[in-house]
A and B are shown apart, each in its own frame.
Chain A
Amino acid sequence: MRQIFVTRGWILGYAVFALAILAVPLFIDDPYLLNKLARYLIFGILAAALSLSWGYTGILNLGQAVSFGLGSYCMAMTLKLRTIPIQTGAEGLPDFMVWNNVKMLPWFWEPFHSTAFAIAAGIAVPVVVALLLGWFVFRARVAGVYVSIITLAMLVVVNLLIIDQQRFTGGFNGLTDLADLKLFGIDFDPYSGATYYLIAFSLIATLIIGQLVIRSKTGLIMQAIRDDETRVRYFGYDVARYQIFAFSLSAGISGFAGMLYAMVMAFASPTFLSVQLSLSIVIWCAVGGRASLIGAALGALLVTGIQGSLSETPAFLNTWMLIMGALFVAVVLFLPKGLISILNFGMARLAGDTAMTDDDDEVPLAHGGKLGIG
């Protein structure tokens, strides 16, 4: 059967992808490059998370950097506390607090002495924020572009708040000079293979979890909501709950990605909660294919990879943004379902036996598609 063939093809595709990213350190000696690739993989996680909410549920979250940033700060706080003995003496405070005349460690910093707490908080805080925001937004049946505007506004608010509370957050500079995370006797040096593998496995885990959700009936209902939110209600499903679930799941994964990012960069700053990053995630998803987890992840790797190499090539120093823009426009115009639709097309063709020729119009390429918000 064609269906089975295509499904198997995809499983194979995921396996090849997993092996490929795991094999990378075997061929790379340059720690700087490895660190850079690890960063790209984190962007892959972020894009896959947005795919769950945007591509599968129709919620275009323009404030995904909130979750990412909150996660990164949670990790940065615990790593910052590790640096106290070296930077300000055993009984001291994080260096930026000393500069800001803070006399006592604020209460909400206390629990971050525990790494386990920090890791739990890095996921829980974004999830709780998403639950609260989602509860208000989706219960009130806000839909489409208005959800995007609200999430964008949320991002700006949180960003300003963090910059404003310099005494507790380090303000514009953020939390810098972080210690390495040490867990189970492993030192996760940002430039080490250990960190790269941690991130690669996290991306693989994200794809697996995402697939499990999508291939459940809950995932099916999420897609039904994307198609026609109102119709779903008349089958007895509480649409808001499904939307909140997708929104929060995406936020939790993004928070986790943020933690990894703070480790890799050895700092956390308000730029992690920037509008620019949020919009970049949308572009990665759109380029790769928002309704495909692996497509979105590949989109992130591809776009950030090209971006990285172009911006570092002297010849493109002034034009790389233009080239990226043109690429984005071209993909959106000609492949509304993203680059992954080329693979889809190829696989359907490979599998296409004569009995199924009338199914050709099912091929994503042939669809009008929409960049649609909602």
Chain B
Amino acid sequence: MSLLDLKGVEVQFSGFRALRGLDLSVSAGELRCLIGPNGAGKTTALDVICGRARASGGDILFDGRSIRRFEEHRIARLGIGRKFQVPSVFRELTVRENLHVARSRRTGVFANLGVRAAGGGADDLEKLAEFVGLKESFRREAGTLSHGQTQWLEIAMLVAQDAQLILLDEPTAGMTTGETRKTAELCKRLKGRHTLIVVEHDMGFIKEIGDVISVMHQGRLLAEGTVAEIENDPEVRDAYLGSGGISGA
């Protein structure tokens, strides 16, 4: 039984068809990599799942339930978390406060009036910050963090959110080799308890974490399989033609 099902999803941006009947099915606990040449619609696929983009056709089922017309916050409450390509954190809040906002067990205005901004399991949050190497910066404003640290903070925020399905858009962008390895390790650790969909360009990273890879091309699913299967797929080779093959993408 799959956790997430995209069935013939269409997305249009003022005439441009970013998704042209995308079919994608992800099971609970899986770590799925989404790859494809530029403009294949990978980010749009994540956008349409979390409600950022609206599907003009097809359907999206999460846990058997259509979420196509849900507002973003309702989709998030069902258990879908999103990391954006350009790291987006709350720059004027401290690392601790960012994590506290991210841990959204209660979402109501009046329910949260009773929760102290300074409290709320600070120990847990500090452990989380330590886990991603931000312990020293725990009380610093997020706006003062480096690019890599900001990426880490956003990943930690997704862990704090404890979403069932986590959508990661290029989590290793701008990271050093060491940081990339650490991200891979983290992804593997999250797998199982969480379901992950990761959009990536870094083939080394994908080989390290990926079980099943879905290849997108021109808004559609082109191929699906293990790393070896994908690399030998002639259609995939064609799609990447001119960009130095799949590994050079």
A and B co-occur in one complex: yes
> Is there contact, CB below 8 Å, between A227 and B113?
no
> Is there contact, CB below 8 Å, between A236 and B109?
no
Given contacts A233-B76, A245-B109, contact A223 B116 (CB under 8 A): no
A87 at the interface (CB under 8 A from B): no
Contacts of A214 in B (CB 8 A): 117
Interface contacts (Cβ under 8 Å), in number, total 98
C-alpha spacing A59/B98, complex, angstroms: 20
Contacts of B98 in A (CB 8 A): 224
Contacts of A239 in B (CB 8 A): 73
C-alpha spacing A193/B97, complex, angstroms: 43
A334 at the interface (CB under 8 A from B): no
> Is there contact, CB below 8 Å, between B76 and A234?
yes
B82 at the interface (CB under 8 A from A): yes
| Interface set, chain B 89-137, CB cutoff 8 A to A | 89-93, 97-98, 100-102, 104, 107-110, 112-118, 120
B72 at the interface (CB under 8 A from A): yes
Closest-by-CB residue of A relative to B72 is: A233
Contacts of A218 in B (CB 8 A): 109-110, 112-113, 115
> Is there contact, CB below 8 Å, between B117 and A220?
yes
> Is there contact, CB below 8 Å, between A215 and B117?
yes
B7 at the interface (CB under 8 A from A): no
Please choose the segment from B21-29, B37-45, B138-146, B203-211 that sits at the chain A interface, where 4 or more of its residues have CB less than 8 A away: B138-146
Determine the interface band of chain B, counting residues with CB < 8 A from chain A: 35 or more
Given contacts A217-B100, A217-B120, A228-B88, contact A236 B115 (CB under 8 A): no
Given contacts A213-B113, A218-B112, A245-B109, contact A235 B140 (CB under 8 A): no
The answer, among B73, B89, B117, B140, for a CB contact under 8 Å with A216, is B117
> Is there contact, CB below 8 Å, between A235 and B89?
no
Q: Mark A57-77, 1 if CB is under 8 A from B, else 0.
A: 000000000000000000000
C-alpha spacing A228/B118, complex, angstroms: 20
B81 at the interface (CB under 8 A from A): yes
Given contacts A214-B117, A236-B77, contact A224 B90 (CB under 8 A): yes
B161 at the interface (CB under 8 A from A): yes
| Interface set, chain B 187-236, CB cutoff 8 A to A | none
Which of B109, B110, B157 has the largest count of A CB atoms less than 10 A from its CB? B109
A39 at the interface (CB under 8 A from B): no
C-alpha spacing A234/B71, complex, angstroms: 10
> Is there contact, CB below 8 Å, between B81 and A234?
yes
> Is there contact, CB below 8 Å, between A215 and B109?
no
> Is there contact, CB below 8 Å, between A223 and B90?
yes
A231 at the interface (CB under 8 A from B): yes
The answer, among A213, A216, A227, for a CB contact under 8 Å with B93, is A227
> Is there contact, CB below 8 Å, between B112 and A217?
yes
The answer, among B71, B89, B92, B157, for a CB contact under 8 Å with A223, is B92
> Is there contact, CB below 8 Å, between A220 and B97?
yes
> Is there contact, CB below 8 Å, between B91 and A227?
yes
B50 at the interface (CB under 8 A from A): yes
Instruction: Give 9 nearest A-B pairs by CB, closest first.
Output: A236-B76, A217-B115, A217-B112, A227-B90, A236-B77, A233-B72, A218-B112, A220-B117, A235-B104
Q: What would 29 A/B residue contacts be, using CB atoms closer than 8 Å?
A: A216-B114, A216-B115, A217-B100, A217-B101, A217-B113, A217-B120, A218-B110, A218-B113, A220-B97, A220-B100, A220-B101, A223-B90, A224-B90, A224-B93, A224-B98, A227-B92, A227-B93, A228-B88, A228-B90, A231-B88, A231-B90, A233-B72, A234-B81, A235-B102, A235-B157, A235-B161, A236-B77, A242-B109, A362-B141
